[in-house]
Amino acid sequence: MIQDERIRFLNDSSVQNGKYVLYWMQASQRTLYNHALEYAVQQANDRKKPLVVFFGITEAFPEANERHYYFMLEGLKEVKDSLEERKTKMVVRLQSPEKGVKELAEDADLVITDRGYLIIQKMWRHHAGKNIDCPLIQVESDVIVPVEEAERKEAYSAGTFRPKISKKLNMYLLPISEHAPKLSSMDFDLESFEIADIDAAISNLKLERSVHKSRHFHGGLKQAQKHLDDFISNKLDKYADLRNDPTTEYLSQMSPYLHFGQISPLYIALKVLSISSPGAESYLEELIVRRELSMNFVFYNPDYANYSCLPDWAKKTLSEHRNDAREFVYSKEDWEEAKTHDPYWNAAQREMMITGKMHGYMRMYWGKKILEWSRSPEDAFEIALYLNNKYEIDGRDPNGYAGVAWCFGKHDRAWQERPVFGKTRYMNANGLRRKFDADAYVEKIEKLK
């Protein structure tokens, strides 16, 4: 079932008599549990036209590098193969998406697209809506509750957001059916960038190459399902108790796959809800409330990537303490090379650099220490976001922007006043050692290659 609330017309153009219906896939890079794809199949079948799927690769996505593109292409190769099994042609173009879709839309009845929340993603869709001659219809598929249905303005915190989104869950926690296109589009002669050989494809892209692909995480739905099945079978029951212990492996590892739309949050939620587990409530809090709070944040706050996004109380208290003496002050290069005095912080940075993913609890400590040991809170914010976006596979993501901002007071409340931190939440190494064997975490990271 695809609810009307997920569907939005991005222009008022009339349906054309074209050769096909076009699905512009960009955010939802999957064939399973993809509302936009299923809506496009429905439209194609209703109009007795074949379906063509388009994906645009821009080499200039802000702050993206070889690590991100490799993970994405691993998933896209799987998508292309899956579509071909459904007799649907996938066209990949090496051009900015809003330009590629304009060209392909010239022969389309109408265009369906999915939804993104970052400024660049909204700009692509806005530009395309203004410049194509047929309807552009957006179908939201990467959240469980459509962002404007969950809340009509920027939420202050999880506490204010939770009751509002919770009221809507029964309406949207519903399975969707998969339908096959009735007509094949495989015979269309449409130029496409070859992605069958990912190494060759990567070599043909003009990318920032200082960060290489992860050997620890590989892209695609099959990999995502493998992690998810392992999590539900072996980890979910103890998730609430062990999720904050980075010496164990009790996380779902879904964030990189969710970032690229390689797996559906609805699919994950329904799988978790299909069993009885003491960890389900805690996990769904992260998957739904916390994750969709981050979508709310970047959708309604255009300053999400800037220090100015913080609440007034946080900016005020950090400004009042900007001249406090700092026990240590590190440069951007020191941070990036993990050259601090703190073995726990260094281990967290190395985990991110090596694997492309830092444990969630260490990510909070990591951000708090950058705030404490940088020259100013503004410098700290910039450094944390730079490192997060460069090394995390799921960098440049609403969750990442919200997570960095949280370390500086976003979506949080005032706490006891301290030097440097002011009234923002404080974390220290003793807190780590009370929660888990922090030295064992360091040893674990030292073994990574």
C-alpha pair distances (Å), 48 with each of 19, 176, 182, 189: 10, 22, 8, 19
**CA-to-CA distance for 288 and 166, rounded, in angstroms?**
9
- Please report how many Cα atoms fall inside a 13 Å half-sphere around the Cα of residue 392, on the Cβ side: 30
* Residue 98 domain-assigned (yes or no): no
Helix (H) or strand (E) holding 73: helix 66-85
C-alpha pair distances (Å), 304 with each of 118, 158, 377, 399: 9, 17, 16, 11
Mean pLDDT of 31-37: 98
Q: Which domain holds residue 418?
A: 307-446
**CA-to-CA distance for 203 and 200, rounded, in angstroms?**
5
- Please report how many Cα atoms fall inside a 13 Å half-sphere around the Cα of residue 379, on the Cβ side: 14
* Residue 343 domain-assigned (yes or no): yes
Contact 147, 138 (CB under 8 A): no
* Other residues' Cβ atoms within 10 Å of the Cβ of residue 337: 14
* Residue 345 domain-assigned (yes or no): yes
Strand ranges inside 29-100, DSSP E: 51-56, 89-93
* Residue 253 domain-assigned (yes or no): no
Contact 283, 289 (CB under 8 A): no
Contact 356, 217 (CB under 8 A): yes
For helices 360-372 and 398-407, give the axis angle rounded to 10 degrees.
Answer: 50
Q: What is the mean pLDDT of the chain?
A: 97
Spatial strand order of the sheet with 51-56 comes to 7-9, 136-139, 108-113, 20-24, 51-56, 89-93
**CA-to-CA distance for 312 and 315, rounded, in angstroms?**
5
Q: Over the stretch 129-157, which tens digit does the pLDDT of each residue have? A: 999 999 999 999 999 999 999 999 999 99
Contact 373, 327 (CB under 8 A): yes
In terms of Cα–Cα distance, which of 391, 320, 327, 324 is closest to 354?
A: 391
C-alpha pair distances (Å), 120 with each of 115, 135, 339, 353: 12, 21, 34, 25
179 Cβ partners below 8 Å, 6+ apart? Answer: 38, 41, 42, 45
Mean pLDDT of 329-340: 98
Contact 21, 43 (CB under 8 A): yes
Mean pLDDT of 48-61: 97
**Total domain count for the chain?**
1
* Residue 168 domain-assigned (yes or no): no
pLDDT given for residue 401 in this prediction: 98
* Residue 256 domain-assigned (yes or no): no
SS3 129: helix
* CATH number of the domain encompassing residue 423: 1.10.579.10
Angle at the Cα of 203 (from 200 to 204), degrees rounded to 5?
90
Structure tokens at 228: 């998810």
pTM over 0.95: yes
pLDDT given for residue 441 in this prediction: 98
**CA-to-CA distance for 93 and 176, rounded, in angstroms?**
29
pLDDT given for residue 24 in this prediction: 98
119 Cβ partners below 8 Å, 6+ apart? Answer: 302
86 Cβ partners below 8 Å, 6+ apart? Answer: 31, 180, 181
Helices (H), 169-326: 169-172, 198-203, 221-234, 239-242, 255-259, 265-273, 280-284, 291-300, 312-320
Q: Over the stretch 69-115, which tens digit does the pLDDT of each residue have? A: 999 999 999 999 999 999 999 999 999 999 999 999 999 999 999 99
**CA-to-CA distance for 407 and 395, rounded, in angstroms?**
16
Q: Is the pLDDT of residue 334 over 90?
A: yes
Q: Over the stretch 272-311, which tens digit does the pLDDT of each residue have? A: 999 999 999 999 999 999 999 999 999 999 999 999 999 9
pLDDT given for residue 449 in this prediction: 82
* Residue 25 identity (one-letter amino acid): M
Q: Over the stretch 349-402, which tens digit does the pLDDT of each residue have? A: 999 999 999 999 999 999 999 999 999 999 999 999 999 999 999 999 999 999
Mean pLDDT of 326-348: 98
* Residue 414 domain-assigned (yes or no): yes
* Residue 124 domain-assigned (yes or no): no
In percent, how much of the chain has pLDDT > 70? 100
Contact 407, 368 (CB under 8 A): yes
